[in-house]
Structure 1
Amino acid sequence: MFMIEAEYRQHLDENLNNNPLTEALRVELQKNDFIRKITINSNIQSNFWSLPMIYQTTQLRQLTDVHIPLPQTWNMYNKFIGLILYSYSQRNPFSRDTMLLRTEIADRLRNGTFERGIPVGLTTAPSVLVSGDSGTGKTTTIRTVLRQIPQVIQHTSYKGKHFVTKQLTWISFDLPPNGAPKAMAANFFRAVDMALGTSYATEWDARQKESVDKHLSGMQQVAVEHNLGMAHVDELQFMLAYIKSPNSPSLQILESLFNKIGVPIVQSCTAEGVALFDTLVIGDHRIGADMTTVRRMLNDRAFKFLNHDIESDYFIQLFDTLFPEGLINAGRGSDRVTFRNKFHELSCGLPAIMIRLALLHHETLVNLLSKPEIQSKNYHTYDVALLVRVYKNQFSLIDPALVQYRRGNKQAYESTIRAETNNTKYSNGEAKDQRREVADIAPKVIKSIDSPNPMLSVSDRPMVGDFLQGFGDDVDG
C-alpha cells in the first residue's frame, strides 16, 4: 500500500475547488516531465563484456523493466485525471446528495438488493474504451498512467471539519474468465485490499452463501465508502464467453455498479472485445434491456492500440533501447538494418514480444561466447541466423499465434495465443460458436455518441505471409 497525506491546493479550474477530494489531487501539467518520469531505459555498463557471466545476466534483466511510453500515453493521462477530478467535483463528500447516496447504498446492502440500470442518485458517469491486440501494451500503459496518480490519500480534516477517510482515487481489476459475478466481486475486493490494506476479500469470501446482489451491493458500498475516483475493468472480451450465463457480469451491471454512482469506468479489451459492442442484440443479458446501455458505455473517448510499423518512431526507439551500444558485440558481416528488419518480422512489432525476444537473444549470445570452443564461430549481436534460431527455440508455444498475426488474422491470433498458453477463456461450445459469429466482423472505428473524436491510433502496416512453423536448429538458451 502506497499512501500520501492530503495537502489541499486549489486548481486553476475554480469548479474543482472547495472540495477535499479534488484539492488533494495533484496534476502533472508538463508533458515532457510526465514522459520523463515514466520512461525506463536500461543502464548497461560500458564494461558489460568484461563482467563475470552472473553480472552480465543481472545486467540483461534490466531489459524486462524497459518502458518507452506509447504515443497515446500523455492524452490518456489527461483523460483519466480529468475524469477523476470532474467526477469528484460532482461528489463533494459534504454535500447532501452524496450523503443521501451513501445512505441509500447502505440500505441496499442491508436488504441484499442491487438495482440494475436504475440510477441511485447521480448522473451517469463517462466510460472510456481502450482496445488492442494482445501484446500491444494497452494494460501496461493504462496501469503506468494510473500509477502516476496517487492511489490512496489519507484525510484527517478539511477547513476545520472532521474528515477522516482514505480516498481511493482509482482501482484496476479483471473480469473473471468463468463468468461468475462473485468472482468479479472477489477480484474487485482483492484490488481494494492491495491498495488500502483492508480485508474485504476475506470478509466476502466468508459470505459466499449470500446472494449475488449482496456481493454487488458490497462492491458499491466499498466504492462510496472510500470515495472511489475511477474503476479500470480489464479483459472485457471475457463477456463473449458469458452467452449462456444470464447472471454473469454484463455491461449493464458494470454501469449500475460504477457509472450510476458517478464513478467513471475505463474498459479495456482485445479487438475481439470491441466486436462485442457491435454484435450484441436487444434482449441479450450482457447489455440489459436495450441498446442504450451500449451507447452509454461508449460515451467518451476510445483509444486503440496496434502493433508498430517498422519505420515508426516508437519501434525504432524501443529497438534502440533494447540494443544499446554497451550490449553490441559486433562481428564480421554485422548489419544493424538487416537485423532490425528481421527482428520486426519475428516480433510483429508487438512491444511484449520485442522485449522478450531481445532479452533471450542477448542471453543466448552471452552463453555462446562463454564457451571457448564456440568463440571462433563469429557469433555477434546482429547475427540474423542466431536471432532466428533463438526464436525457433524459445517461441515454439506462441509461434502459431504469431503466424496468424502475420497473416492479418487477428481473431485467430487471439484464440491461438489463449490455447497455446493453456489459458483458454472460451472453453464451452457456445462460446466457440460466438467467436465464429464475430470472427468475420471487423471492429469499427468507434466514435463517441457525443463527440466526433475518433480513436487515437498507432500507425500500422499489415504484414502478410507466414514462416517458422517448423522448429529445429536448436541452440543453447
Structure 2
Amino acid sequence: MKSLKKATNTVLIGDLVDANYKKQSLSEYKNNPFIEALPPIFNEDDVLERFMVTPRITEQDKKSEKNIRYHVLKRVKNFIQPLPIHFEVERRLSTLIRRGYLARNPLDKSFLERIRVLHQLREDENEAHKYIYERLNYIRSTADSLSIIGISGIGKTTAIERLLLMYPQVIKHETYEGQPFSRTQIVWLKIDCPYDGSLSTLCKSFFKAIDDLLGTRYLEKYGYLSRVTSTMLLHMTSLASMYGIGVLVIDEIQHLLHSKNDQEEMLNFIVTLSNTVGIPTVLIGTSKAQKLFKGNFRQARRAASEGSIIWDRMAEDSEEWEFFLETLWELECLITRSEITDEVKKTFYDECQGITSVAVCLFILAQERAMFDDDNVNEIIDSKVLKKTAKEDMQIIQSMMKAIRTNNLKDMMKYEDIMINLDELMINHKRDTKLEGEIRKGFTERQNTLDYKRRDITESLSVEISALGIFDSLNVNDIRTLITKIVENNPINMEFNLLKTDAIQQAIILNQQKKMKKEPRVKKLLLLPLLEIRTKALEKKNHPYEALLKSGYIKNPLYEFYN
C-alpha cells in the first residue's frame, strides 16, 4: 500500500492501492470492477475497530510532574468514541458508493456511450453547456444524495473523514479477469464549500482536489476566470466518469447562503451533481443549511434522496451519553481519580449540553485547572471546578451554551449554527437503544483483546510521533505503517517509552531515505572517447598527444596526405 502526497489544509488525502478484486455476495455488485475493488462491506465490528481512537495515558504518565502531565492531557483531543449515529452514517455511505457505481460500470456499453457523448460535448464546449442536460438525460443515474445537518462541534466532519479513510481513496487498475484494464479510480473526494458560497469557486475546488491527488493540472485547464459554471460542470462530469469518482463530500454547505446565486440555482446545481454528473453526494452543514432546503420541496427532496441525518446533541438521560462520559473519564491524568458522582454528571452535562467537542474541551481544561490550583492539593474534579472552568476558561461560548441550556428560541436564533428545528427536517435521526447496548458490549470486549491493545498502542504512538513535526519527508500514513510493524514485532507488554524510542530512531532512518530519493541525482557523465583518453593520459602523467597517436586518432600527416 502506497500513501499519497500530503495535501493542503482543505483537501483530505487517503491511501493509494492497487486493485484487488473481491467476490461479491450481491448479484447486482458482481462483474463491476469499480465495486469489486472496494473493501468488503463493513460490519459493526469493523467500524468499531477502525473508527475508535482512544489516546493512551499510562500509570507512569499519571505519576509524572505537572509540566509533563500538562502535555499528556493534550492527547485527549484525539479522542473519538463510536456512537450509534456513526454506524448509521457508515451504512448510508457504504450504500451510496456502491449503488452509485451500478450505472457507471466501466464494462457496460452505456458507460462507454456516456464517455463518447462527453467527448463530443467537450469538442464544442462554448455551446455544449447549453444542452448538456438534454444529451445526458437519457443515460440513467443510480447516484443518490445524503445530507447531514447538525450543530457546530458535534463531530460531523471528524466522523465523515474517519469513515472515508476506511476506504482507499485511489485505486489503480491494470488488468481485470485476465484482460487489460488500465484505469485510475477515485473512490471518494471531500471538498469544503468556499466561504463566499460561489458555485464557480466550488467547481474550482473540485478540480484542485483532483490535482492535489493525482498531480494533474485541471484547475489551470478548466478553472480560469472566464469560464461559466455550466461549462465547468461539463468538465466535472467528464472527470467524474473518467476517474469513476465514488462519492463527493461537500462540507460547510451553509456557506452557499452567502452566495449571490438564488436558492433555486444552488439547489439545481446540487441536484445536477447527482443526476447529470452521476456522483453520489454527501452534503454536510450546520443548522443554517436548513434554509437551502426550504421553498422548493421537489428540489430539496432530490438534493437529499437518501434523506437527512439530524446530528443533534446527546440527551442527558441517554445511554450513549452515559457511555461517552464513562469512556472519556478513563483519560483522566490527575494524581487522584475523581469519581463521576451524580452531581458531577449533572454539572458536566449542564456546561457542555451533550456537544462532543465542548465536552472534550471542558474535560481537558478542568483537569488543567485542578492540576495547577494551589487550593486543590489532591487534584480533584468536582462540580465547583467544572463550573469555574466553564465560566472562566470557556467564557467565549457561554452565551451560546446558555441559549441551548434554557431552550430560548429567540436567543438561539442569534446563533444559527446551534439552531435545529426538527419539524422542518425531512428525516429525524432516532437513537437506537439496542445498538447502543451492543456498542458498549463490543467496546468492552475489544478493550480486553490483544488486537485492540495493539491498535490502541499504534494509534497513540502514531499521534505522538506525528506531533513531533521533525519528519518532513514522511506523511501520516508513512508513520502509521512504520509504527504498525514495530508494535506487531514487539511483545504486547513492552514499555511504551521503549517503543517510542525505537519508533523515533526508525522514523529518522526512513525519513532520511525518502529525502535522498527525492533529491535529484547527479548522473555521472560519460566522457567522450577523446576526452577519456586525454584524462587517462594525464592521470599517468603522459602527454595526451602520445596517447591519441597510439590509439590511432592521430595520423602521420605526410603519409595521410601523400596517399
* TM-score relative to the length of structure 1: 0.78
Identify the match of residue 193 of structure 1 among 183, 191, 211: 211
Amino acid at match of 1:79: R
Residue-by-residue CA offset, 1:355-413 (whole Å, 9 max, x unaligned): 11112222233333xxxxx2x54463323222222222222222222222223257854
Query: Match of 2:170?
Result: 152
Query: Match of 2:32?
Result: 19
Identify the match of residue 68 of structure 1 among 73, 81, 87: 81
Query: Match of 2:198?
Result: 180
Q: Which moved more, 1:10-19 or 1:115-124?
A: 115-124
Give the C-alpha shift of residue 48 in structure 1: 2.6
Query: Match of 1:324?
Result: 330
User: Kindly tell me: are residues 239 and 40 of structure 1, through their superposed partners in 2, closer, same or farther at Cα, counting changes over 3 Å?
Assistant: same
Amino acid at match of 1:22: I
Query: Match of 1:295?
Result: 301
Say if 1:179 and 1:249, in contact at 8 Å, map to a contact too: no
User: Kindly tell me: are residues 351 and 58 of structure 1, through their superposed partners in 2, closer, same or farther at Cα, counting changes over 3 Å?
Assistant: same
Query: Match of 2:295?
Result: 280
Query: Match of 1:426?
Result: none
CA distance in 2 between partners of 1:268 and 1:411 (Å): 25
Residue-by-residue CA offset, 1:169-221 (whole Å, 9 max, x unaligned): 1112222231312211122233333444444345455x223333232222222
Residue-by-residue CA offset, 1:257-286 (whole Å, 9 max, x unaligned): 233243222222223323432x325xxxxx
Say if 2:191 and 2:251, in contact at 8 Å, map to a contact too: yes
SS in 2 for 1:26: coil
* TM-score relative to the length of structure 2: 0.67
Query: Match of 2:506?
Result: none
Task: Structure 2 unaligned segments of length 5 or more: list them.
Answer: 5-14, 434-563
SS in 2 for 1:228: coil
Identify the match of residue 250 of structure 1 among 266, 271, 292: 266
Query: Match of 1:358?
Result: 363
Identify the match of residue 220 of structure 1 among 227, 233, 237: 237
Give the C-alpha shift of residue 4 in structure 1: 1.0
Calculate the aligned-residue CA RMSD, in Å: 3.0
Alignment of 1:35 with 2:48, yes or no, is yes
SS in 1 for 2:191: strand
CA distance in 1 between partners of 2:39 and 2:214 (Å): 20
Identify the match of residue 241 of structure 1 among 252, 258, 275: 258
User: Kindly tell me: are residues 252 and 56 of structure 1, through their superposed partners in 2, closer, same or farther at Cα, counting changes over 3 Å?
Assistant: same
Say if 2:145 and 2:274, in contact at 8 Å, map to a contact too: no
CA distance in 1 between partners of 2:241 and 2:122 (Å): 12
Amino acid at match of 1:223: A
User: Kindly tell me: are residues 293 and 389 of structure 1, through their superposed partners in 2, closer, same or farther at Cα, counting changes over 3 Å?
Assistant: same
User: Kindly tell me: are residues 38 and 458 of structure 1, through their superposed partners in 2, closer, same or farther at Cα, counting changes over 3 Å?
Assistant: same
Residue-by-residue CA offset, 1:216-262 (whole Å, 9 max, x unaligned): 222222211110111122223333334x5249961111221233243
Say if 2:193 and 2:255, in contact at 8 Å, map to a contact too: yes
Give the C-alpha shift of residue 42 in structure 1: 2.3
User: Kindly tell me: are residues 15 and 55 of structure 1, through their superposed partners in 2, closer, same or farther at Cα, counting changes over 3 Å?
Assistant: same
Task: Structure 1 unaligned segments of length 5 or more: list them.
Answer: 282-290, 369-373, 420-438, 448-453, 460-477
Q: Percent identity?
A: 21
Give the C-alpha shift of residue 26 in structure 1: 1.6
Amino acid at match of 2:308: A
Identify the match of residue 93 of structure 1 among 101, 106, 119: 106
CA distance in 2 between partners of 1:49 and 1:268 (Å): 39
Q: How does 1:382-393 map to 2 (within 5 A)?
A: 382-393=381-392
Identify the match of residue 337 of structure 1 among 338, 342, 367: 342
Give the C-alpha shift of residue 441 in structure 1: 6.7
CA distance in 1 between partners of 2:61 and 2:32 (Å): 53
Alignment of 1:211 with 2:210, yes or no, is no
User: Kindly tell me: are residues 330 and 264 of structure 1, through their superposed partners in 2, closer, same or farther at Cα, counting changes over 3 Å?
Assistant: same
Identify the match of residue 311 of structure 2 among 271, 283, 305: 305
Say if 1:128 and 1:300, in contact at 8 Å, map to a contact too: yes
Identify the match of residue 426 of structure 2 among 430, 443, 446: 446
Give the C-alpha shift of residue 82 in structure 1: 1.9
Query: Match of 2:68?
Result: 55
SS in 2 for 1:162: strand
Amino acid at match of 2:160: I
CA distance in 1 between partners of 2:369 and 2:221 (Å): 48
CA distance in 1 between partners of 2:119 and 2:408 (Å): 48
Residue-by-residue CA offset, 1:275-314 (whole Å, 9 max, x unaligned): 432x325xxxxxxxxx532232232232211111223222
Alignment of 1:262 with 2:278, yes or no, is yes
CA distance in 1 between partners of 2:56 and 2:19 (Å): 35
User: Kindly tell me: are residues 342 and 194 of structure 1, through their superposed partners in 2, closer, same or farther at Cα, counting changes over 3 Å?
Assistant: farther
CA distance in 1 between partners of 2:92 and 2:422 (Å): 27
Alignment of 1:134 with 2:134, yes or no, is no
Greater radius of gyration (CA)? 2
Q: Higher helix share goes to which structure?
A: 2
User: Kindly tell me: are residues 378 and 366 of structure 1, through their superposed partners in 2, closer, same or farther at Cα, counting changes over 3 Å?
Assistant: closer
Say if 1:124 and 1:262, in contact at 8 Å, map to a contact too: yes
User: Kindly tell me: are residues 443 and 378 of structure 1, through their superposed partners in 2, closer, same or farther at Cα, counting changes over 3 Å?
Assistant: same
Q: Which moved more, 1:333-342 or 1:154-163?
A: 333-342
Residue-by-residue CA offset, 1:150-184 (whole Å, 9 max, x unaligned): 22111112123322222111112222231312211
Amino acid at match of 2:193: L
Alignment of 1:83 with 2:82, yes or no, is no
CA distance in 1 between partners of 2:339 and 2:34 (Å): 57
Give the C-alpha shift of residue 442 in structure 1: 5.5
